[in-house]
Structure 1
Amino acid sequence: MGGFGIGSGTLVWVAIGAGALIFSLCCCTCIRRLKRKRSKHTNLIHGVLLSKEFRNGTGPKKFSFKELSKATTKFNDKRKLGQGGFGAVYRGYLKDLGIDVAVKRVSKASRQGVKEYASEVKIISRLRHKNLVKLIGWCHERSELILVYEFMANGSLDSHLFKGKSLLTWDVRFKIVQGLASALIYLHEEGDHCVLHRDIKASNIMLDSSFNAKLGDFGLARLVDHAKGSQTTILAGTFGYMAPECLRSTKATKESDVYSFGVVMLEIACGRRSIEAKYEDSSQSLPSTRVSLVDWVWDLYGKQRLLDAADEQLHMGFDGKQMECLLMVGLWCVNPNPNLRPSINQANLVLNFEAPSPNLLDRMPIP
């Protein structure tokens, strides 16, 4: 047959052209979305930095990238204090102020990094309490997001409890719990808004040169009205410290913060992680199961052997009344039923022996 047929070569070029057009359209769409996302993030950060605290100069100080690079010797790995999911923390020295600082450089690869950065600056800049890590300054330039905190000479609580940095005496441990309780009372009850921290854990509790506890890392924190006292969000926190209801409803509340506080109390008293490997016998090289610290302590309480939960490394070097009180309040705070947990004020009264110990069931309640 003659005529008007299209050759195979022409079809190939038409297909290539169509493919190129589709590819170009996809690229343009992706670029537009990226620009919108960047614009949204930039507006979010600028909104925070133009807030009342920053305009009045009462908030954290703005640093240049050059200043912070110099302070950390160009972010030298030898100055790295730690590495988290949202970036690395470096030790720095600000010559003009004459102080050591901890410099948190948000990773450019972190999807949540910008939100964490904005949340941290927005919330912690308005907080003033001796048991909260102080935010000294910030930097937002050259696509860099950097936060500058006061330097904590003794690092994080978990480095002492679980990583062998030093053996904390009982007096120091009890003081850490009291300091953390004081910080939570301030966050939950004493400000214009209730602050839900949402990630209370041993690695977020820092210790200064005198081993005073200071709660840090407010990247997941949320502000809520006192009357409401809760907020439904995406699931956030750390497994082992999260209240059981958060796994079901993703609702953050004062009660879920209190649960995390309870877990930390048990870790401090027992010297064990919230979730720990269990070995059937000493010959095994691999753990057979994972055990919950909460379950273990509650089981000992039911057997009337509560003080057996005390950290063996203390070699009985503790005040028995304080240890029992700390373990009891810890179990009270981790009750699976959030309605049966104490407020942070109630827990603090018992810790200071200004109220009687709670009445607990012999067995951990079923959620």
Structure 2
Amino acid sequence: MLGKGSFGTVYKGALYKGKKLVAVKRLEKLVEEGEREFRAEMRAIGRTHHKNLVRLLGYCAEGSKRLLVYEFMSNGSLADVLFRGIRRPDWDERVRIALDVARGILYLHEECKAPIIHCDIKPQNILMDEFWTAKISDFGLAKLLMPDQTRTFTIVRGTRGYLAPEWQKNTPISVKADVYSYGIVLLEIIVGGEEVDKTTLENMVKVGLWCIQDEPILRPSMKSVVLMLEGITDISVPLCPTNTSM
């Protein structure tokens, strides 16, 4: 067993007579949705391909059973790096990790055939490969939008502490829910950094605060987030968020 989360247990496995290692997640708290919708979402996610996404290699959906098969990541999660002292990244690495994650979410939101809301962005779902590249994982709660759709109604998905305020307001969810979660993760990434570049630190804090604005309309798109982190666009002084994430 590699780990256990709020929605399932992850096991280490092997394919092709042990030649290819994989991670297998067994979903234990199922999202209440139909078989057809689950399969459609998994097929869409299975077609994604980006250097900052963990590849979903396959899935099983038989009755109430849900298994997701991912490529194996050898260096654990961002949570291990940030909170468990597995490896202490320097400032430049923290900036790179923040951009890795932002680019992965941008791909899901704007570069897929149909936009995908991940719904559970958090350090535990960001894995590190053998080169310490950050990759977004765990699409068990992801929500697929139709090409002409910008928001959708769904039951609460995600993890306390990273949930956007709109999850509890019974209002439609958009990609801005992921932006909020990313803002929390971004602020966690920069906390504890040593020998920081003060200008970069200030800019990253501003981006994080814009991402966690209470109202979705005030949050930037992930494309804007990437451009701000890359220093291509200016960052205005953010409003002070009033909500505390659940």
TM-score range, shorter chain: 0.7 to 0.9
User: Matches of 1:200 and 1:174 in 2, distance apart?
Assistant: 17
Question: For residues 197-346 of structure 1, what are the structure 2 equivalents within 5 Å?
Answer: 197-270=118-191, 311=192, 314=193, 316-346=194-224
Structure 1 vs Structure 2: percent identity of aligned residues?
41
Runs of 4+ residues deviating >6 angstroms: 113-117
Instruction: Report which of the two has the higher share of helix.
Output: 1
8 Å Cα contact 2:165/2:243 also seen in 1: no
Question: For residues 26-175 of structure 1, what are the structure 2 equivalents within 5 Å?
Answer: 80-96=1-17, 98-107=19-28, 110-112=29-31, 118=39, 121-139=42-60, 145-175=66-96
Amino acid at match of 1:246: W
After superposition, the Cα gap between the structure-2 partners of 1:86 and 1:120, relative to the gap in structure 1 and judged at 3 Å, is: farther
User: Matches of 2:97 and 2:52 in 1, distance apart?
Assistant: 9
User: Matches of 2:33 and 2:2 in 1, distance apart?
Assistant: 21
Amino acid at match of 1:182: R
User: Matches of 2:146 and 2:67 in 1, distance apart?
Assistant: 29
8 Å Cα contact 1:234/1:250 also seen in 2: no
Amino acid at match of 1:171: D
After superposition, the Cα gap between the structure-2 partners of 1:366 and 1:97, relative to the gap in structure 1 and judged at 3 Å, is: closer
After superposition, the Cα gap between the structure-2 partners of 1:366 and 1:183, relative to the gap in structure 1 and judged at 3 Å, is: closer
After superposition, the Cα gap between the structure-2 partners of 1:193 and 1:142, relative to the gap in structure 1 and judged at 3 Å, is: closer
SS of the residue corresponding to residue 119 of structure 2 reads coil
User: Deviation of residue 113 (structure 1)?
Assistant: 8.6
User: Deviation of residue 120 (structure 1)?
Assistant: 6.0
User: Deviation of residue 201 (structure 1)?
Assistant: 0.9
Higher RCO (CA-CA < 8 Å; seq separation 6+): 2
8 Å Cα contact 1:197/1:257 also seen in 2: yes
Alpha-carbon deviations, 1:113-162, whole Å to 9, x = none? 98697476333212111111112234567986433211111111111111
User: Matches of 2:62 and 2:158 in 1, distance apart?
Assistant: 29
User: Deviation of residue 177 (structure 1)?
Assistant: 1.1
Amino acid at match of 1:229: T
Whether 1:186 aligns to 2:107 is yes
After superposition, the Cα gap between the structure-2 partners of 1:152 and 1:120, relative to the gap in structure 1 and judged at 3 Å, is: farther
Whether 1:364 aligns to 2:204 is no
Q: Equivalent residue for 2:228?
A: 350
8 Å Cα contact 2:109/2:116 also seen in 1: yes
8 Å Cα contact 1:86/1:113 also seen in 2: no
SS of the residue corresponding to residue 130 of structure 1 reads coil
Alpha-carbon deviations, 1:19-42, whole Å to 9, x = none? xxxxxxxxxxxxxxxxxxxxxxxx
Amino acid at match of 2:228: V
Structure 1 unaligned runs (5+)? 1-79, 271-310
SS of the residue corresponding to residue 238 of structure 2 reads coil
8 Å Cα contact 1:120/1:219 also seen in 2: no
Alpha-carbon deviations, 1:38-62, whole Å to 9, x = none? xxxxxxxxxxxxxxxxxxxxxxxxx
User: Matches of 1:121 and 1:320 in 2, distance apart?
Assistant: 42
Amino acid at match of 2:6: G
User: Deviation of residue 174 (structure 1)?
Assistant: 1.1
After superposition, the Cα gap between the structure-2 partners of 1:87 and 1:333, relative to the gap in structure 1 and judged at 3 Å, is: closer
Q: Equivalent residue for 1:10?
A: none
